[in-house]
Amino acid sequence: MSETLRPVIGQAIAIFIALALGTVVIMVVGESPILVFATLLEGAFGSTERIAGTLLQTTPILVCGIAACISFRGGLFNIGVEGQLFMGGFAAVIVGIYLPLPAGLHMLVGILVAMLAGMAWIAIPAFFRARYNANEVVSTILSNYVAVLLTSYFTIFLFKRPGGWSETAPILPSAYLPELFSFSRLNWGLIIGLALAVAVQLYFRHTSRGYSVSIMGQNLKFAEYGGVDIKRHIFLVLLASGAVGGLAGGIEALGVHHRFMEGFAPGFGFDGVIAALLANGNPIGTIGAALFFGALRSGSLLLEVDTNASREIITVIQALIILSVSAQILMRRRGDSTAAERRWKF
């Protein structure tokens, strides 16, 4: 029990430290921390609509977080979720515009194509990681920039809606991911995300392949020794992670924006990765972490209107959380490895 509780307490302390530092920052810029935090809470949870707004922000962070979790479980770091989201979103929109199909089916095909696009986008880094052991952190990070710029280029030069802003034409209504309530754009994406989190958790716990991947993530040499085909599993894990990244884009495209534009969903991939880190690669924990970041985002929008504090304060607080969480994780890792080394390295 204490073994599972320890990281949770660690993360809680990390967040607490970050919030404490954030308080100092707020005071330094001359705002009242109480007012800022109260406004954040009000903005995130103040009414049914606001809660829906928070969940709307939570959804892409959650799905991206699950994508990151999948790679973390295999001991891999897909930091390219952002790029997979953009590619997935763009692909879903193209299907939504140009491939008329019956309602429902159209949406499902759009979601599927989004996942394939995310998968395709990670395929090259995944191949080089599996085959040549090329560091996936670097290659996936770099692929983000390419994806964001490439989709932007396609949008402006090939698929731009006549007149107006840099955006594509709207998708056909048959491809819409249905909304959950009349008063919000919150849609079935949230349900998909929650179900996926549970499914991924169960998968890693209860299937043979999930077990093999988990063990590979924790001790690659042991998994290799035990007969797990390492290269194959590395490749598959990254593909699965990329597919879920693409799914996040598909949900945003078909559920929220109904088109692709510049500024489609920037930052959600990165927030998802952080949420997954915060949750230690546990998809269920990622739900909580994603909600936390979603609430910060949605609360910060009210902050801008109701106080004189800038939304950037939230960016600062988020950065502080990232810092203290990663410091905390690093310290724990170090503790573990020295304990392991002590037995054999004298």
Partner 1 sequence: MSHAVELRGIVKRFGTFVANDCVDLVVKAGEIHAIVGENGAGKTTLMNVLFGLLQPDGGEILIDGKPIVVANPRAAIAAGLGMVHQHFKLVPSLTVAENVFLGMERGRAGFVDHKAQIAETERLSRDFGLKVDPTEQVGLLSVGIEQRIEILKVLARGARIIILDEPTAVLTPQESRELFQTLRGFVAQGMTVIFITHHLEEVMAVSDTVTVLRLGRKVDTRPTADVTKNDLVQMMVGRSVSFDRRQREPSTGGTVLSVKDLWCRDDRGLPAVRGVSFDVRAGEVVGIAGVAGNGQTELAEVLSGLRPASHGTFRIHGEDLTAASPRRIRDTGVAHVPGDRVVRGVDRQSSIAANILMGRQDTPPWARGSLIDWAVVRERSSEMMERFDVRASGPDALVKSLSGGNMQKVVLAREFSHDADFLLVDQPTRGVDIGATESIHNEIMRQRADGRAILLISVQLDELIALADRILVMFNGLIMGELPGDSVSEEALGLLMAGVQTGPDRAAVA
Partner 2 sequence: MAADVKVAAISGYFAQGFGQSIVAGLNKAKDDFGVEVKLIDTGNRALDYEEQFNNVAKDGEYDLVFVMGWELVDALTKAAEAYPDQRFIFIDGVLDSDKIVYADFSEEEGSFVTGAFASLMAAKGSAIDGLGDGKSIGFVGGRDIPVIRNFLRGYEQGAKAAAPDVAVDAVFAGTFDDPAKGSELTMALYGEGNDIVYNVAGPTGEGVLQASAAADKYSIGVDIDQCDVAPGHVMASMLKRGDIAVYSLIKDEVEGRTVKPGTYSFDLKSGGVELLMCPQTIDMVPEDVKSKVSELRDAVINGDIKITE
CA distance 309 to 326: 27
- Residue selected from 51, 230, 306, 316 as contacting partner 2 according to rule CB under 8 A: 306
Asked if 30 interacts with partner 1 (CB under 8 A), we say: no
Contacting residue, 168, 187, 201, 298, with partner 2 by CB under 8 A: 298
Q: Which is nearer to partner 2, 157 or 346 (CB)?
A: 157
Going by C-alpha positions, the residue among 236, 249, 237 that lies closest to residue 115 is 249
Choices 9-17, 84-92, 216-224, 251-259; region in contact with partner 1 by CB under 8 A? 216-224
- Which 3 state secondary structure label does DSSP give 167? strand
Q: How many CA atoms lie within 13 A of 82 on its CB side?
A: 24
**Cβ within 8 Å of residue 38, ≥6 positions away:** none
Binding residue (CB under 8 A) for partner 1 from 161, 185, 209, 332:
209
DSSP state of 99: -
252 binds, among partner 1, partner 2, none (CB under 5 to 8 A by kind): partner 2
Shortest separation between residue 330's beta carbon and partner 1, angstroms: 17
* Binding string, residues 288-317; x marks residues near partner 1 by CB under 8 A: ------------------------------
Please report, as a single letter, which amino acid is at residue 131: R
CA distance 337 to 346: 14
Write the Ramachandran bin of 216: left for phi over 0, alpha for psi from -120 to 50, otherwise beta: alpha
Q: Which residues contact 270 (CB under 8 A, 6 or more apart)?
A: 79, 81, 82
- Partner in contact with 31, chosen from partner 2, partner 1, none, beta carbon below 5 to 8 Å by kind: none
To partner 1, the closest distance from the beta carbon of 202 in angstroms equals: 10
Among 26, 223, 239, 320, which residue sits at the site for partner 1 (rule: CB under 8 A)?
223
257 binds partner 2 (CB under 8 A): yes
